[in-house]
A = this chain, B = another copy of it.
Amino acid sequence: MTPPTRAEALALDSADPLGPFVERFVADDPNLCYLDGNSLGRLPVATVARLRQVVEHEWGKGLAGSWPEWIEWPVAVGDRLGASLLGAAPGQTLVADSVTVNLYKLAGAALAAARAADPARRVVVVVADEFPTDRYVLEGLAGGTGGALRTVAADAVAGVDPAAVTAALGPDTALVVLSHVAYRSGALVDMAGVTDAAHRAGALALWDLSHSAGAVPVGLDVAGADLAVGCTYKYLNAGPGAPAFLYVAARHQRRLRSPIQGWFAQRDQFAMGTAFVPVDGVERFAAGTPPVLGLAAVDEGVALLAEAGIDRVRAKAMALTDLLVGLADEWLAPLGFALASPREPSRRGAHITLRHDEAWPVTAALVTAGVVGDFRAPEHLRLGPAPLSTRYVEVWDAADRLRRLVAEGRHRAAVPPAGRVT
């Protein structure tokens, strides 16, 4: 096909119903093509004011007197997130801790409950290419309890085959842990199908929504999902290291207990009783004092996405990545790039990945050309045009600069040492 011209990309922006949302983010460098929203989302303009309000007024002036309001936020912000983006009825979503810690709490709770019901149920099924922290946490949990991981191979591009997950399930399986959108390829998994297979095997399904929350509609309740965790500093635009979220389906809450028994999970917390008696609701998966600044930022990010509507966000995500895939086919394939994401937009999330032998020097050199993507070892360039904050022309310019840079061999000129891009 003939790729669109730059004028055509600009026309897509003019016609974009979400176009005005781009202005709702801080963006002082008009030359920058920021295709790394899947790593760290842009700063919403409203968040600047909200954080000043929280810091300078609520903390600075209200001091400890602000706690009666702040203390409600983990559940209140969780409910708003659940309702607008996760398909979760109230009382099931909590904003707290990091993805790592939340995964530990929920997987630990699920493994303990499974073992208590049937000592033979000790296996966690996980995809071989699952995001590292998920694998590390599960390896530690399984090892600490005499359990085991069972690894399912997945295609590096197409992602995991639900049939392979089903084949890995058995009467020994306690839990399946899976990313809804794969962090590397962007492949989208059929949540309802895999959850159903887990249930038929007597196991629970825990979903990592880090790369899907705010990018893809997530119907946790409808899919019958049991547990979920996810990140807020990517598509939810809550800032570096902002608190993560967790979801526990209401039907499981009373029988699951977090291995980390913290005082924010305690019934009648400020009576400060001697024995731990967790509350009934999703707050029983809280641990320590909630990170108030981060919660405010999550709230603002969620509000922005809720205003845009996740279905429109999804439509734009597909259109942006489609544009990128089309340009990559036309311009980049001849330069040694191969699409390492599903070609069908409905099978992927909001980012795509390109494989290239020199992916690291290309990623590094791109920054000097005003294009930010990110590198994933050993040879992947990941490009995430966050739908709410990215223009079509930004994607066009990024692809154009990328082809020129590689065609001219500029990525070979000054190669920095392989480094960290979170």
Q: A47-B55, A231-B289 are in contact. List 19 more A-B contacts (CB 8 A).
A: A26-B56, A26-B61, A29-B61, A64-B422, A65-B367, A68-B419, A97-B98, A101-B287, A104-B287, A132-B263, A132-B269, A133-B263, A136-B276, A137-B262, A233-B289, A240-B290, A240-B293, A241-B288, A289-B422
Q: Does A135 contact B (CB under 8 A)?
A: yes
| Contact partners of A242 in chain B: CB under 8 A | 291
| Contact partners of A269 in chain B: CB under 8 A | 132, 420
Contact count band on A: 35 or more
**Binary flags per residue of A380-421, CB closer than 8 Å to B gives 1, else 0:** 000000000000000000000000000000000000000111
In the complex, the answer to whether A270 meets B68 with C-beta atoms within 8 Å is no
**Binary flags per residue of A273-316, CB closer than 8 Å to B gives 1, else 0:** 11110000000000111111111010000000000000000000
With A240-B67, A287-B100 as known contacts, state yes or no: A60 contacts B39, CB within 8 Å: no
**Binary flags per residue of A66-82, CB closer than 8 Å to B gives 1, else 0:** 11101100000000000
In the complex, the answer to whether A239 meets B100 with C-beta atoms within 8 Å is no
Nearest CB on B from A277, distance (A): 9
| Contact partners of A104 in chain B: CB under 8 A | 259-260, 287
In the complex, the answer to whether B112 meets A101 with C-beta atoms within 8 Å is no
**Binary flags per residue of A24-57, CB closer than 8 Å to B gives 1, else 0:** 0010110000101001101100011001100110
Nearest CB on B from A361, distance (A): 16
With A100-B262, A259-B140, A294-B293 as known contacts, state yes or no: A272 contacts B377, CB within 8 Å: yes
| Contact partners of A131 in chain B: CB under 8 A | 263
| Contact partners of A97 in chain B: CB under 8 A | 97-98, 101, 288
In the complex, the answer to whether A67 meets B421 with C-beta atoms within 8 Å is yes
In the complex, the answer to whether A136 meets B261 with C-beta atoms within 8 Å is yes
Closest to A70 in B: B240
A43–B275 alpha-carbon span in the complex (Å): 34
Report A's interface with B, CB cutoff 8 A: 26, 28-29, 34, 36, 39-40, 42-43, 47-48, 51-52, 55-56, 59-61, 63-68, 70-71, 97-101, 104, 112, 128, 131-133, 135-137, 139-141, 144, 231, 233, 239-244, 259-266, 269-276, 287-295, 297, 367, 372, 374, 376-377, 419-422
A36–B275 alpha-carbon span in the complex (Å): 27
| Contact partners of A287 in chain B: CB under 8 A | 98, 100-101, 104
Closest to A140 in B: B261
